[in-house]
Each structure stands twice: as structure tokens, then as C-alpha cells.
Structure 1
Amino acid sequence: MKNSIRLKITAGYVLLIACLLIAVMFLMNQISTLQTARNALLTQETKVQNLTSNLEKSVLNMNRSQRGYIITGDKDYLEPYNEAVKTWEDDLTQLKKNFSTQSIQKERLDAIDRHLQSWIKEAAEPTIRLKTEGDEKGIQNFYTQDQGQSEIEIITQTFTELQDGEANYLKDEMKKLDNRNTNIIWFLIIFLFSCSIIATLVSSFISRSIIKTIKYTTNAIKHISRNEGSLKTRIPKLTKDELGELAVATNELLDEIDHREWLQSNTSKIVLDYQGISSIRQLSNVFLTNIAKITQSSYGAFYVLDEQSSAKMAYTKQSVFANTASDLGRDSFLLGEGVIGQCALDRKPIHLKDMQDFRMLSTGLGELTPREIYIVPILFENQTIAILELGTIQRFSELQIQLMEQLTEQFGSSINSVLRRMEIVQLLNESRAMTEELQAQSEQLQAQSEQLQTQSDELQKQTTQLKKVNTELELRTVDAEEKTLELEAAKESLEKSTAELMQSSKYKSEFLANMSHELRTPLNSILILSEMMSENPNANLTDEDIEYASIIHQSGKDLLDLISDILDLSKIEAGKVDLIFEDVHLQTFPSQLEANFSHFGNENNVAFHVKLDDDVPDTFFTDAMRLQQILKNLLSNAFKFTKEGEVNVQIKKLHPNHEQEQLTDDWVQFDIKDTGIGISEDKQQHIFESFRQADGATVRKYGGTGLGLAICREFSTLLGGTIDVTSTEGEGSTFTLALPNLPNGLKSNDTEKTSAVEEVSETVPPAEITEEAAEASLFVDKHILIVDDDQRNIYSLEKVLHQHQFQIAYVENGFECIDYLTDHPEVDIVLMDIMMPELDGFDTMRIIRNSLELEVPIIALTAKAMKSDREKCIAAGASDYLSKPFDINQLLSVLRVWLSQKEENHSWKNSSN
């Protein structure tokens, strides 16, 4: 029978537990009573808070809806008002029931009832009626007298008092519960103190029964220590309790450490043996012989990638172990050929067990069949550079397999180093041969030089007569050489600066392309799925869900516009931006700005006002999109740096100065004023530079890239205007945007239609199918293969294509695509992502076209938007090209074109046959 420590301790604690039961039952009863009271109080408070919030929300909805209808005249604004009118009285009645014992709170609810009824009767209903009747003058008179505003303020103040009163009531009740909780805690402290005394006595008795067993284990550990940490010593199991189990676990730990030392020592031995070897065959022999002996392998073979072979990715045998009379192993193999070729392709070890009908291993007494085969790839820079294959008539242990995998992890770099060294030696030999040949030629030239020297002596006499003339020419030559050196120095400096500028431009283009790819990939899924939801094809979404989907889709488009703006920054610097001067209706700007930015003010309790002067013209010619982007950036900054106060926008007519009058007499000024943190005078000009803000503290506290104001300045210049700032630190800032009215645009801004960074437009071959029946029959049961490593893109594409009755399959990399097309020739079209791990889209398309010789249409999909990406895709074998994020209709149009073309070709071939 096992005398466990648990049994001993349990026996000692039986008496203690019996003593605890009575006290625990008492504590449970007290805690349950306290918890019930607390839960009831919290339930009551939650219900009151919900009803109060609903009632306050109804009041705000009525007020906002009524004002929205008065401003816009759109009856849709009255829906929240009408709904709130129907529900607020029910919420008020429920609140009164919950405040039945609180007379002060009931009086406050009565006050809310009176003032709200008064507001509806005297302010809301009359103004709605006036707006419905089109009496704008009556509405203006009504708001001039400010009728109803005082009622709303009183209601708001009463709500605050109501919430404060409820908080005080909850605080008093919680204090009573805390007093009861304190009494229970004191009882618990006394009780625990008593239990501690009892536990001390019991543990003292039990510890004496355990100490003898611990002494045996301690003596065994000291024995290991006296033998200088010999891991061969094991702790005997003298007891049948947990300490005995501890001895067993310790012995297992010593076994594991012994295994690790075995791995480390053998690894170090093999590595030291092949250090300094410069021949790949000798390196292979040393490595294979050592690892075969250590792992007790019966035979082995070692193959290395032959870079000189005419066949692509061919591996040749460099070394064997325990070779037989019939020459062990094949001389070479290709990538993917046989089991060993598949191991090189997959870059993963293959372990074959219980072999039958396999080649015999030859010994002095006869031949044996290997029981297990272990094939492991040796990698360098994620490419299989060599293959190790070992066989044994026994079994490979886990320790031996770990040794093989551990050695092959770093052996690839050694193989590559030797291969490169051999290549350098070969080049050196070739260089020596060329040197000898040059030396022979040099001797021939020496002989010719002696002949020339004789002729030179004859000419020396004639040269003497020309020395005087040469002296003057030399003086002029020295002067010319000095000037030439100065010009060469200037040329070198200019070339160096040009090279640095070209490198900077290259880095910038790569950065913008990579940034575009990283942002467009998730945007593709967001735009496709949100557009599908907003269309509600299954009619299972509510109007609110459809509105949410539309907002998500619009937000995705806004983010896409932002990406385009960042790409436009490069166009601005290159002076290659397209401007479209069109009429802008300034009268609608106040409502647009309030609709787009009021929520910023509401979130931060910052007032927001837009004022349009009476003398501002209704129509103003400029680039509307650039103007809106400038105002959006300026207002976003204003709200970000303003934590209290107000943000004001004033649109007024500007009286131009002499310089401005040369362009036009008609100017408009936009003033964006805030009461934020302000900008010091020495930082006011730096904020318009790219990636700059006022200082480091501003960056850390408020964030931002510093691009917004730089883009604003460049756009204002392109539009013919100016942007300035006046600010006082701690008081606020005013940004002034002045723009001219240019019906015919700026002659100096006839920008080119191309750019250093240009987004590729997706084109579709000229074909149209307008009948829905023809499209339906074209798409039904067509097999589409999606090749993409991003599950978001796969999911969104699958949802879209399923609606059009396509048969869909997907894989996550180029290798899987090749395997799938080989096994499924019925695929009608392939959607190929370009940026994928292991094998990217370019190489995959080349293999499909060149090796597999398939003519299946391939549509390349990529989130990169550089000008050359389309040409790269077509050159690699793509039939067409779309950049992410793409429109659903655009994708369907491309599919329709290529599927139609495929059916036409199929029909033509059938008729020809």
C-alpha cells in the first residue's frame, strides 16, 4: 500500500476540517445574505440608469431631429422625433415606479415631465408646423426669441441632478453593506487565527513522519555531488510516496541532460572534423562517415546541388557509406523526382519505416534489407542545397534523429562556403592562365618597343628643333590641365549628388509601392464584403445593417483616397498633378462642414461654427476635391489640438493685394480658427514641411505623420493661392487659405498626365455582354481556382463568386497551384495573387505557361500599384491584370470577357475538327 504524503497530511487535517465546517456554514450564510442584498441594489441601480439613459436619449433625439428638420427640411429627420415622442412617457412612468420611496427624485421627474411637455407644445410642434408650411420668416422670428431653449436647459440640468441624487442614494446603501462586510471580516480574522494554531500543531506532528524519507533522498544527491556531478549515478527509489516519485522524475531529468550532452559532444566532434576542408567531395565523405557511425547506420548516401549541370535543380552523388559491389544509390536525381527528390522539393525530412522489397545491404557474410530509411534536406537561404540519406537494419532512435536534424541545420552554410571557395579557386586558375598569356604578349610588345626606340632616336634630333615651340605649348597645357581638373572635380561632385538623388528616389518609390500593397490588401476584402452587405442580396439585413455596411464601404473608399493622397505627394514634388477646375457651390459648404465635423466637437465638448459672409459669390471655380482635402486636413488638426473652447470657420471675400490682382480680382478667403495649444513663432514655418510637426512633444502626445499641412501648402500653391498661419502659444491658431476664382484654370498648371509614382489603371478587353441570361449561363458551374495566401481575400472572393454560381477552389501558394492544375484540368480560369510565400505569382505563371504548357486564362491580382507591375504580370504569363482593391463589377466584367473568349475558341476548334 502506498503511504503517500497526501494520506499523512489528510489524516492530520481531518480534525481541522471538522472544526471548520461549522464556521464555514455560518460564513456562507452571512455572505449569501450580503450578496443577495448587494445584487438587489445593483439590479435596481442598473434598471434606473438604463431608464434614465433612454429618457435622456429620447429628449436629445427629439431636440436634434427637430433642429435637423428645421435646417434641412428633410422629413427623414422627423422619424427619430416621432419615435421619441411615443416612448418617452413610458420610460418616465417606469422611472417613477422605481423612485416610489424617494420623494425628491419623484419631484425631479415631475419637473422633467412638465418642462418637456412645455417644450413640445411651445417649441417643437410650432416650429415643425412652420417648416412644413414653408414659413421661414416665422421660424427666424421664433429662434430670435429663443423660445424653448430654456426648457431644454432646465431638462438637462434636472437630468444631472437626477443622476447625482441616484449616485448619492447608491453610495449610502453601499456604505451600509460595507459595515456588514467589515463585521464578517473581523469574524474571519479571529477564526483564521484559531485555525492557524491548530494547523501548526498538526503539521509539526506530520513533518516528523516525513523527515526520515527526505534524509535518504538527500544522501543520494550528495553522492552524485561527491562524484564530480557524474550523470551516470541515479537516485534509488527507497519509498513509495511522492518523494519516491521525485527520485524517479530526477532520474528522468538526468537522462535528458545526458542525452543533450551526447548531442552536443557529437555535434562538436563532427563540426571540428570537417573544419578547414576545401573540397566538396572530401567534406561529404567526412560528414557522412561520422554521422553514419554515430547513428549506427548500415549505409548512407550524400547528394549536393550541381550548379554546373545543364538540368535545372539537379543533385549529384558526392559520397556513400558502406558501398556495395553494385554501387550504392543513384548517381543523380532532379528536384521532385522520386521520394528523395520530393524531400528536396518539400524541404522537410522523410522517415520510411518497415521497408520491404528494398535493396540489400552487403556485408562480409551476406546481404541484409534495411529496416528504416531517413532522408533529410540540408538548406541554405531556404533552398535545398544537399540531401542526406541514411539506412539502418535496426531502428533510428529519437536521439539519433535529433542529432541528424541538428547537424543539418547549420551544415548548409558550410557546404555553400566550400562551393564558393572551389568556385574562387577555379576562377583563380583561369586568371593565372590569362596572366601567362598576357606575359607572352608583353614580351612580343617589348621587342616591338626596342624597334620603336631606334626610330625614336632618329626623331630625337628633329624634336630638338621643336622644343622652343613646345615650351610655349606646355605652359598653355598646364593652365588647361588645371582648369580640366577643376571641371572634373565639379563633375564628380555633380555625379555623386545625382546618384544620391536617384537612390533616394528609388527608395521612396519602393516605400510608396510597399505601403500601397500593405494597405490595399485588407482594403480589398473590406470594400468587397461591405458592398455585398449593402446590396443585401439575400434580403436578410435590416435597414440599419445596410446603413452600417454602406458606412463601412464609404470609409474604405475614404481610406483608399487617403492612400492615393500619399501617393500624390510624390506627384506634387515632381510637379505632375492633374487639376480639374470646376464650379464649386460655396453656399452648401457650411452644411457640409457641419455634417462632417460636428461629431468631433460633440466628442470633445468643443463648439463648432461655420460662417459664410453675405458677399461671398455662390459659384467659385477651383479644384473641388483639392479644396475639400485642404479644409479637411486643417479642421482635423484644429479639433485634434483643441481640448476645450471652440473651432470656427469663416468664408469671406478677400480684397487682393497688388501681386494677387495680377492673377485675378476675385479671391475667397477661408479662416480656420481654434482655441487649442497654439504654435510658437519659431516653429510656425516648419509645420508646413513634410513629416514635420511643431516639436517632439507634440508628436508624442498627439501623433500624426506631418504630411497634412505639407500637402495643404502644395495644393494651395497649385491652385494659385496661399496658406498662412498666425498663432499664439497657449491661446490658439488661425490658418488662412486664400484662393483665386479661376474659371479657365492656371496656365502654369498644365500638368503632365504621368507621374513618377503612377497607379496602374485596370483595363478590360473590349467585349460586352448585356443580357443577364447570357451572363448567367456563362458563369454557371465554371471552375475558378483562387491562388492567395490571405484568407481575407479568399473569403471575400468566394462570397462574391458563389452568388454567380461559380465552382470555387482555392490554394495558398504557387506549389499547391501547380499540383492542383495538374490534377484538375477542368479549371476554367485562375485568379492569381502575386505576393505569396515559397513560390510567388510571377514564377507560378511562368511554370504554368512554360512547363505545364496550359492555356487556362490567368487573371493577376496584386495590391502593388507601380507603373511596371502590369507589364511584369503580362510578361510572366498573365492573361489580364487587376490591382487591389478592385470593384466587384470590374472583376465580373473581366471574368465575362475571358470566359466568353474561351468558349468561342473551344467552339471554333470543335467546328474545325
Structure 2
Amino acid sequence: MFGRKRFGIRLKIMLGYLFIIICLTIAFILVDNQVTSIQQDRNYIAEHDFAVNEETNRIEKMVIEMESGLRGYLLTGNLSYLEPYTTNEFKWRDSYDRLNGLIADNPSQQQNLSSIKEAIEQWIKNDCEPIVMLKKRNPSNTFADIYDTNSGKVDLDGIRSKFETFRTIEKGMMKQRTQYLDSQYKTLSISLFAMLTIVGLVSITIAFILSQSIVGTMKQVTRTIIRLASSKGEITRRIRVHVNDEVRDLAEATNLLLESHEEDQWQQKKITEVISSLQGISDLETLGRTFTAKTAELLGASYGVFYVSFKQETTSYMVKVASYAALGDCHELGVLKFRVGEGLVGQSAASKKIYHLTNVPDQYISISSGLGSASPRSILIVPVEYNNEVIAVIELASLDKFTSLHMELINDILEVLGTIIHSVESRVEVERLLRESQLLTEELQTQAEELLTQQEELHITNEQLEEQNRYADEKSKELEQIKVSLEEHMKQLEQSSQYKTEFLANMSHELRTPLNSVLILSQILAENKRHTLTKEEQEYAQVIHSAGNDLLLLINDVLDLSKVEAGKLEIHVDGMNVLELPSILRAQFDKVAEQKNIAFTTEIAAQLPKIFYTDEQRIHQIIKNLLSNAFKFTHLGYVHLRVAMCEPKLAASLLPEAKPDQVLAISVRDTGIGIPQDKWELVFDPFRQADGTTNRKYGGTGLGLSISKELAALLGGCITMESEEGVGSTFTLYVPTLDLQMSELITARQEAAVAFAEPVFGTDANDLPVEEESGGLRESSDFHGKKVLVVDDDVRNVFTLSNALENEGITVVAAHHGQECLELLDQMPEIDLVLMDIMMPVMDGYEAMRAIRRNPRFEHMPIIALTAKAMKQDREICLEAGASDYISKPLNLDQLFSLMRVWLTK
């Protein structure tokens, strides 16, 4: 068709594709113009409508932020809440100008936007600015006083309605533009399918014409290959074609492939011959001799040596086991063995590489025959591998050079040779093991006879064991009875523990009740407001107050220990600021350090988390106990507090159940008297000290470390100790971070500053702030004219509280039980607050509070429960019975007055 001139398949295909590309290019240009137009419309919808919605939402958000800031200012009177209002009062106009520019092509929407602007300006002018000015002029006005008379909510709802109308119109316009785009896309799709149909038909026609010019020639080549395949291995014939294109190139490449295949067939034939010659060989010497001879014959080698791997103790050798064409004298036999890495043979075994030497010196080796001798031209050293380990090395010498075909042949042979050598070695090892097995079998027969004798002895032993089993069954029954007795004893112990807990709670009440009077009266005497005491008498009162506080701490320690042992002490997890811990402790112990003239230093390690989740109160209690002990037993030197994260390995060994990278380590190190090693275990026992004699130098009950150890365990941690007598001690608390969900956190009260909230029962007096100077808080309070009813059956407490309250200008009325309290309330409804004791005759405090709350007149009267019991459930019971708040005896007057101020000002 195209004559003798070379007209390649590529050119034919390229011409066909060129025509298709031209058609596609024309179609693409037409489609691209249409798509560009649609894309411009789409971009306008996306960018314009998005910008309009964004600016609309921004203006509305600013108005809402202004209204929120205004509300915050009216609620608190704090000018910082007006910042969002003042900022957005100017910023919304910028967004308005941008939005007005975006809708410049829509006069109706501009009118709606102008209406929104007028509404916002009217709201600011008529509602916001008057409210702000009114609050600034009279800050005491409440939110309700100002906001109930203002029409701001109506105006703000109108602004929201206008925004909603504006957005609804914009959505409708966007929908119209989208429908227009849909129609354009539909037109484009129809046009595109039409063009694709035309291009497809033209492409099929061109492909048919080109394929005819190519397939005809390919069929000729196919018929030639089929005829070649039917020759049953005959590969002497070659393919001949008369076309002048790539098919001719294919035929020539096929002929080259046939020649290569002929060489491969020869190579596979020789490999088969070598493998066949090695079949059935059962020793390495015969294997090496046979393989070396056959390989030398195939490769045209005139000399060969075969080495196998041998390990002696810790050294590996390559040992000669066979040779080919070697003379009998020692020099010609070659080296008998090489260490791995020694010589070229040893190096080939070490590096697993083939060495092919072509420039061989004349004195290297002599290849001899009956007619003479000559030096080889090539030396080939080849390692044999099995499972990536060299097990043999072959060295061949030839008078000619080894060709690439020889190298390929030897590589193919080596792939099989390693397996054959390993198989022979395994067979030799199996034969050796078989011989050893025969010897062992004979020994086993002898041992079997001995076992028969032993079985008879075992039979006698079994009879003895049966007798012992019967005896063991009897003992088991006795143990079962003992187990039942122990379980009964455990129940009695649990009941005894409950009795002890109740006893300690009652004893706490009995001790705290008189202690309450002692502490309050001693505090009043120590303050000496009436200036009736001498300085010496005032010091006596301070000593009495200090001793009372020490007694209170002892009561608390005993009660805490009882709670821990009874399992009734719970933890309350919250975020603790670790970085503030040293400053808090320094504030409490700097004075102690100064008085004892010792250094108190603190250290915060790097990369500490600011917030650590645990029970902060219990952590402080443990550290205070450790620091108190350190200062007590240190007279010279220092006390050092260090806060750091525990090393993960140490944390994993101490606290296996905790996350090793989330364990806090707080250590207290001192240079005190130290603890002898034989008394380390005693210091954590309750009521025990290292110096346990009656005339010991240091005071204390010995409860601090015992309680600290139990509290640490309750927090999931532990306490370790290192100490040397006369040098000092180091106590380290390890505590892991805890999950917030593990704690039953109870919200004790709401902020007293929320002036419009309903009274919240349950404020914890221990959370109230106390002035550093005990008199400062009471001097600033104004209780004059207030009437307080004190309900307590203990005349000492009534006397004490009456004196303390009357010193503050409070009128005090006393009742000695709940029934008398109810009668006094009916007679004097002007009473402002009730201080209610719990344990009283006739009617206790719980019943009295319930009766008061049932009277609608006293539904919101503040009632503060006073109790000397300190168990956890006592507080909840008081609040459920109707108490507004709770405080335990002995009373801290500063806390009591702070609590009274909260409820008297509500």
C-alpha cells in the first residue's frame, strides 16, 4: 500500500491520533468558552452571595454582642462588660458600608438595608444610651429596675425581623441565579454529547483503516511463530519477513530470542547432568570429588579444589575434602584448611563474593600432564550458600579465560549445590544419630527392667499415699470448721469497727462541745477589746486558745484515722495549681523556720503541668504533716521541699496501675536527727514514733505519718522514706493524676455576688475567706440592729456565743431545745437568723429545722446548723433537714461571722 518506503506503525498511529486530537481541540475550545461563561456566573453567585450573608451575619452578631455587653454591665456594674458594646457601636457601620456596596445593583435590598440601619441607630439612641447613662448615674439600680421600663427588647426583636426579611430576599435571588445556571449546564451537556458522538464515529473509521495496514503484517509473523512452535523443539529455523516497519524489528528480536533460548537449553542440560551425577552420594568426600570433576569438565578447567565449612569451638574453618587433577606431593595439594577471612578462600567465605582472577602469576600453580606443565590464565573462587550461610568454597583454575556463559552456568549450579551439600550433611548426621539411637535403645531396655522394679515400689507407696489422703480429708473438714469460725470472727470485727467509728464520732461531739466554749472565750479574752485584762492575763488567754487548737487537731487526727480505717473517707478530685503549692506552704512555715533559725527552701522542677487533678485538700494535709515533722526534728541546717514529675520507670515500679508519665513526686528533705533503720517500719504505725519512750524529747501522738500514708493510698499513691540517723530524712509522696469522674463533687454554694439569685442552701463555712487579722473582719461588719436566736442545750455554749455576738452589736435570744425555739419564733417573728445546735433534749435540731421550714413565714429564714459531730454524712443530713448552712464545732468566730454576713445580706 505504501510501497518500499519505510512507513512505521508509530507514524501511522500518530497520524490517526493527530486527526482525533484536532477534532477534540475544536470541541474543547467550544466547550471551554461555554464553561468559562458558566464558571463566571457561578463564581459571582458563590462570592457575592457568601459575602452578603457573611456581612449580614456579622452586623447581626455585633448587635447581639452589644446587647450582651449591655446586660453584663447592668448585672454587675463593671465597666469592662461595656467593652463589646462600645467596640461594636462603631464597627458595625464598616460592615454596613461593605454590605451596601455589595448590593449596589439591587435598589430594593438597599432600601431594606437602610431600614435596618435606621432601626439599629434608633435602638442605640433610644434604648442603649439612656440605659448606660442611667446605670452610670445611679449604680445601685438593679437590672430589673432599669430593664423593665425599657423597650429595648421590642426594638431588638424588630431588628432581628428585618435581618430575617433581608436574608430571605437574598436567598430567593440566589435561587433564581442557580436555576439559570442549571439551564446553562443542561445546554452544555447536550452539546458535549453531540460532539463526542461525532468525534467517536470519526475515530472508529480511522482506527479501522490503520488496523488493516498493521494487522495484515502481524498475521504473517504469527503464522511464522506457529510453524516454529510445531517443530517440537527445533530452533534452527529463523523468522523472515519482507515488510519495512516495526514488524521487521519484531522478527529480528524474535530471532535473537531464539538464539538466547538455544543457549539456555544448553545451560539447563549441563546443570541437569551435574545434578544427576550427584544423586545418591552419601558422603562429602565423594560429593566434592564428583562435583569438582564434573564442573571442571563443563567449564574447561584443568584444576580444582573443594572446601567445606567446619566449626571447631568458636573458630570457623574451610577444610579441603576433594581435588581435581592434583599431583601427589604436598606442594601441589594446596592448603588443607583456611580460617574464615584468611586467604582468598577464607575471604570468599566471609564476604560471600566470587573472586575471578585473570592476571595469574607464573609461580601461582602448575597444571601438569604427561607431556609437560603450564601456568593457568584464570582462577575462579566461588562460595556455596545455604540459608544465607556459606557451607562450601570451590576453587577452579583454567588455561583459558572463564566466559560470561561459564559464570552464569556456575551461578545456576550453585543454587542447587547448597541444598545438595546440606542434604548430604544432614544424611551423615542422621546416620550418626541413628547409631547413637541404637545405643540409647539398648540402654532404655536396661532402664525398663529397672522401672519394673520401681513400679512395684510405687505400688506400695500409693497405698501409703491413700492412707495419707484419708487423713488429709479429715484435716480438710477441720479446716472448713475453722474457716466458718474465722468468718464469724470477721463479722464481729466489722461490727466492732462500726462501734468504734460511732464511739469516736460521739466522743468527738462530747469533746468539741466544751472545747467550743474554751476556744471562743479564750479568743475573746486574748483580743481584749474591752481592755479589762492585763498583758499577762491576755497571754494566759492566748496560751489557753493555742492549747485548745492543739487539742482540736488531735481530735481531728483521731477522727480522720477512724474514717480511713472504716473506709468512709472520700476524696474530691479537682484541678490543683501545682505551681502555687510552694508559695502556699511557705506562707504557713516561713515563720516556723524563722523561729527555729533553719533554712526553708522550695524547688519547682521544669516541665511541670500547671493543673494536676487530685484532692488538693488531702495533698495539702499530707505535705503539711511531712513539713511539720521535718521542722519538729530539725535543729540545724535546712528543710527543702521539691515538686517534680516522677521518672516513668520509677513510677511504673511504685504504682503499676497508674500512668507512668503522669505521677507527681513531692519530696521533703531535712537535716534533722534522722531515723535508725531498725525503726523505719514503725514510724508509719499509728501512735508510734521512732523515740517511743515515756521520756522522749519530742511530743506528738504519732498519727501524722500514719494518716498521711493512708491518705496517699486513698489517692492511688504512696509515700517512701530514706533516712540516716544523725544526717537527716527524705519523705517523698508519689501521687498519680486522677479522673474527674471519680469524685462526687458537691457544689457548696453559689457566688454571693449574684444579687438576684434565690438563696442556695449548703454553703460550706470552711470555703469562706478569713481575714489575716482576726479582728479586722468583725470590725468592718455591721451587725447592729440584728436579732439572732441561739438554740443550744449547753449553757456554756449559750453564754460563750451570746458574749461573742453581743460584742458585735447583735441582740441575742436563747433557747435550750427545739420546742422552745419554735415557741420563741412564734412570739418574735422579727428574728433575722437562727444558730441551731443539733444534739438537744426534748426536740433535736433536725426536727426543729424541719418544723421551721414547714411554716411559710420562715421558708427563707437563714438557719446555720452548729454541731460538734464531724462525720461526712452529718453535713448532708443538716442541709436536707432545712439548714441554710453548716459549721462544725469548735467554732471559728471569723468563719462564723463571715457566714452570718453572707446570709444576713441576702
TM-score category by the smaller chain?
0.3 to 0.5
Q: TM-score w.r.t. structure 2 length?
A: 0.40
Instruction: Indicate the structure (1 or 2) with the bigger Cα radius of gyration.
Output: 2
